[in-house]
Structure 1
Amino acid sequence: MDVEVRLTDSSKGKGLFTKKTLKEGSVIFDEEPLVSCQFSWNALYKYKACDHCLRPLETAEENARRLTGKFDLVLPYPECCTTVKDTIISCEKCGVEYCCSECLINADTQYHKILCIGSKERSGCHPLELLNEAWKHIHYPPETNSVMLIVRLLARIIQAPDPQVAISQTLQFCHRTFNEDAELAHKLLGEGFANQISHLLSLLQQALPHECIQQFLTENGFKSLLALIGTNGQGVGTSAISQWVSKSSELPLTDAKKLELDQFIDKLYEDIEKHSGTFLDNEGVALYTLQSAANHSCSPNAQATYLHNNFKVSLVALRDIAEGEEIYISYLDDCTLERSRHSRRKVLKENYLFSCNCEKCMDQADQPDMTSEDEDESMSE
């Protein structure tokens, strides 16, 4: 690896540092997650993805037809579709689908044996189903996280050859106080649902009554896990259409054919937005050991992206990074990054419990302490 995790010279504790000079645009590393899962509503709305790696299970044409509502739509250049239907395989007991036998085996080895409830037991009354339904009614689309990530994390511990090693891997993400965990857990659930922690915990206890995870099945332990996924969960998005667009745009076409394709793609996205809104991708959340070690900056030098159209994250350099330099990503979306210093720090304080002192925030320290919304209001007066 060209990176290492080590102590920083600030209050941030650990950070991610490069061991060699990196060029802008280079892939710093690729990493598969400790665990991942698709968002519950995303799956319910028939965004078909591999239950392990989140790779699309629809062809680009099937994807386009569903999202546009035009079931006679034909995509040109079908050879640019990257979905391989012949390798799709299902769990014989519960019918959960995977993109290939390797994903089925990995899931079964890591966590699925514990979580497979079989088709006969799927009555809507199994504790895992009830937990999923309870979470869905707390988190309507657009989703940002899933309690089912906690379920897979705990199932992974139960199935591990050495549960204590798996527990240690989990605890490396847990470094808050009980009060901080409670604050983050309430923030994740939202004001209207913070009182449902005990209900969610009860369902989790019924679903996974295993001795080796008892420390996580207490109220404080569960709040710690909610804080864990709230601060370290990384959004994942995959798309058959996006892959087709990318591949077809690289074809050596004549200028006329290129223009025709561009117009087709523009119309395709226009029709998708009319029928399905902006929800284009299979979406989920994952927990990464190495990527999670990267600290935040409002002027990041790296960005997490998905180059493989599955759950494997790629950290890409946004500019040249010198040997020994700390690697920073942004915990904020692009829109929030462009807002005022006070707005950015307010969001980070509410969601991650720290006040940002990155270079950009320090350079803007003389800005007035008002949110971007306050600024918009004052400008309109």
Structure 2
Amino acid sequence: MDGFEVRTSNSKKGKGLFATKKFDQGDIILEEDPLISCQFAWNAAYRYLACDHCMKPLETPEQNVRRLSCKPDIVLPHSNCVESNLECITSCDQCAVLYCSEACKQKAFATYHQTICYDTSNAQHPITILLEAWKQMHYPPETTSIMLLVRILAFIQQSPDPVDAASRIKQFCHRTVNEDAELVHKLLGEQFASQIGTLRDLTANVVSGEHAQEFLTPEGFCSLMALIGTNGQGIGTSPLAMWVNAVLELTMSDDERQQLDLFIDKLYQYVEEESGTFLNTEGSGLYQVQSASNHSCAPNAESLFPYGNHRIQLKATKPIMPGDEICISYLDECSLQRSRHSRQKELAQNYLFVCWCEKCSAQATEPDCTSEEDMSDDDDVDADD
């Protein structure tokens, strides 16, 4: 690996990603395809058309914004600044799921799809039944998908070396049984946490080969559910966002720029009125190297998806020296700006750890609540208790 290595961290975080050379702000640290990725179930149900393998959207920016805004007459200027290559779309010969290219189709079939290819119109197929059960337990906004877990099991089953494939997955499993159970409880929510046994039985009806068995015991399934809940990296792709980014790079007069900015603002207003904040094709992926990046409330790197598919890019947001740990934020930008108390609470609830990053250590003596927003959150929690 060029410029970085995965090794044990000096803290209680376990493994971490460390720089072996200097990275300047803006440098690309790594690019990586996931072991497995998957579009969210509700996202697919709401017709966010995407390649079944790499999650590349299967519509042009203009088609995308027309659908999201329900305005079929919208015309995007400079629409040719984004290459869509929709003529390369193909489908599985057996189940007709769509792929952006023949390469994605073959990669999916060779890696996991052969095991779980099924007639999507068959309401009684085990995968259909599993997906419907999952969707009733995990409403939007989604954070993971049961199909990511199914694809992991199929990936192990189809591997030329299933033992090695299983060990690659198990590298992400490092919590106790009780911690896994707590994470799954959080993932499914209070109302559905007791139904993990049902999910396990339905999953066993889909993939039940020899090498999947250790993950289909009560403890193994709980561990795998916790794995996809905490190590699954969110993926978002959007033809509209790619068009906006590309068109803003074009050379034009100040007047043209002003008109374009107003047009883009109006587009997003139309979309928000019709579709709310659900703008992207969304899913989750399991990345072997990038997943080693631990959290910091003062991160020195960020994860991006510059190609409009599931290929991830880790980019330095500040200078990184040899020996420095490369950290990203598990929290969004809004949460990062809040008090240490608020950040710690969110990390403890969602990831089961106490953060002792540089920022949290420096703020350790601050009061528990430092903003009205934080205190109102606590009031809400107290009211629920």
Give me the TM-score of the superposition, normalised by structure 2: 0.95
Aligned residue pairs total 377
Looking at structure 1, the residues matched to 109 and 31 of structure 2 have their Cα atoms a distance apart, in angstroms, of: 23
Looking at structure 1, the residues matched to 83 and 370 of structure 2 have their Cα atoms a distance apart, in angstroms, of: 44
Q: CA deviation at 1:81?
A: 2.8
Q: CA deviation at 1:252?
A: 2.0
Q: What residue number does 1:354 align with?
A: 353
Letter matched to residue 7 of structure 1:
T
Residues 1:262 and 2:266 aligned together: no
Q: CA deviation at 1:118?
A: 3.1
Q: CA deviation at 1:38?
A: 0.4
Conserved? CA contact 1:82–1:240, under 8 Å: no
Looking at structure 1, the residues matched to 114 and 214 of structure 2 have their Cα atoms a distance apart, in angstroms, of: 21
Conserved? CA contact 2:341–2:369, under 8 Å: yes
Conserved? CA contact 1:16–1:295, under 8 Å: yes
| Secondary structure of the structure 1 residue equivalent to 2:205 | helix
Residue by residue, what CA displacement relative to the aligned partner does 1:307-336 show, whole Å, maximum 9, x if unpaired? 111101111111000111111111111121
Aligned pairs for 1:7-156 within 5 A: 7-118=8-119, 122-156=121-155
Conserved? CA contact 1:82–1:244, under 8 Å: no
| Secondary structure of the structure 1 residue equivalent to 2:307 | coil
Conserved? CA contact 2:48–2:281, under 8 Å: yes
| Secondary structure of the structure 1 residue equivalent to 2:42 | helix
Q: CA deviation at 1:134?
A: 1.0
Conserved? CA contact 1:37–1:148, under 8 Å: yes
Conserved? CA contact 2:342–2:374, under 8 Å: no
Higher mean alpha-carbon deviation, 317-326 vs 368-377, is at: 368-377
Q: What residue number does 1:170 align with?
A: 169
Q: CA deviation at 1:140?
A: 1.3
Looking at structure 1, the residues matched to 48 and 224 of structure 2 have their Cα atoms a distance apart, in angstroms, of: 27
Residue by residue, what CA displacement relative to the aligned partner does 1:177-203 show, whole Å, maximum 9, x if unpaired? 111111111111111100110110110
Higher mean alpha-carbon deviation, 33-42 vs 139-148, is at: 139-148
Conserved? CA contact 1:56–1:239, under 8 Å: yes
Q: CA deviation at 1:75?
A: 1.3
Q: CA deviation at 1:82?
A: 2.3
Looking at structure 1, the residues matched to 295 and 263 of structure 2 have their Cα atoms a distance apart, in angstroms, of: 39
C-alpha distance 256-368 of structure 1, shift in aligned 2 (>3 A): closer
Q: What residue number does 2:383 align with?
A: none
Looking at structure 1, the residues matched to 200 and 20 of structure 2 have their Cα atoms a distance apart, in angstroms, of: 42
Q: CA deviation at 1:112?
A: 0.3
C-alpha distance 377-173 of structure 1, shift in aligned 2 (>3 A): closer
Q: CA deviation at 1:344?
A: 1.1
C-alpha distance 377-355 of structure 1, shift in aligned 2 (>3 A): closer
Looking at structure 1, the residues matched to 278 and 370 of structure 2 have their Cα atoms a distance apart, in angstroms, of: 29
Conserved? CA contact 1:111–1:152, under 8 Å: yes
Conserved? CA contact 1:68–1:275, under 8 Å: yes
Conserved? CA contact 2:119–2:125, under 8 Å: no
Looking at structure 2, the residues matched to 295 and 217 of structure 1 have their Cα atoms a distance apart, in angstroms, of: 28
Higher mean alpha-carbon deviation, 149-158 vs 239-248, is at: 239-248
Q: What residue number does 2:382 align with?
A: none
Q: What residue number does 2:315 align with?
A: 316
| Secondary structure of the structure 1 residue equivalent to 2:313 | strand
Conserved? CA contact 1:82–1:243, under 8 Å: no
Conserved? CA contact 2:38–2:52, under 8 Å: yes
Q: What residue number does 2:201 align with?
A: 202
After superposition, the CA RMSD in angstroms is 1.6
Letter matched to residue 299 of structure 2:
P
Residue by residue, what CA displacement relative to the aligned partner does 1:338-363 show, whole Å, maximum 9, x if unpaired? 12111111111122221111111111
Q: CA deviation at 1:94?
A: 0.7
Residues 1:159 and 2:158 aligned together: yes
Residue by residue, what CA displacement relative to the aligned partner does 1:286-326 show, whole Å, maximum 9, x if unpaired? 11111111111111111111111110111111100011111
Residue by residue, what CA displacement relative to the aligned partner does 1:210-262 show, whole Å, maximum 9, x if unpaired? 11110001111110001101110110001111111111222222333222222
Q: CA deviation at 1:6?
A: 1.0
